[in-house]
Amino acid sequence: MMKYAQSVEMAYYGFVFSDINFHSITERELTMKCFRCNNALNKTSEDAAHFYSCSSCNAHYRLDEHTGLCDRWRMPLSLVLYGVIFDKNPETKAVAIAADFKARDDLDLANIVNDIKAELKSPRQKVSSILNFEYLNEDKLRLFLKLFVNEYESCNH
Ligand SMILES: [Zn+2]
């Protein structure tokens, strides 16, 4: 089981790590595509920060020098993940955070849930790179997102 998970992870992220060894960030920028619509990304920062956006679907990204491209703060996943930024066991808070989100009327929750489902169905990034988590655990954060979606959907039928 572990072996399978590791090989899947290498398939998703292997090219990112090999790129770091042989190319500068500037060279990598030329080939970066939007996770959501495959459009070429535009750099949106003039300073040392590596922020990018998609002119087609308006998604915003940040290039992490260690783990590659990931969603920028304020993208849908980041809003949900923010609730567990200090949690060692984020999966235990999924029900409570889903309830918090359902109580809000300032967010497009259906859009957020659809974006999470797309990420879970075919992983596009290290979700543990999106924010500065106190406890870095990719598997637990993905489990939290899965339970968040389950909770949302169970209350909407
Ligand atoms: Zn796009």
What separation in Å is there between the alpha carbon of 59 and the centre of ligand 1?
A: 6
- Our CA dihedral for 99, 102, 105, 106, rounded to 10 degrees, sits at 80
Is the pLDDT at 127 greater than 90? The verdict is yes
Is the pLDDT at 112 greater than 50? The verdict is yes
Q: How far is CA 6 from CA 2, 3, 130, in A?
A: 6, 5, 20
Is the pLDDT at 21 greater than 90? The verdict is no
pLDDT value for 38: 94
**So where are the chain's domains?**
1-72, 73-157
What separation in Å is there between the alpha carbon of 36 and the centre of ligand 1?
A: 5
21/87: higher pLDDT? 87
Is the pLDDT at 99 greater than 60? The verdict is yes
pTM of the model: 0.79
What separation in Å is there between the alpha carbon of 67 and the centre of ligand 1?
A: 20
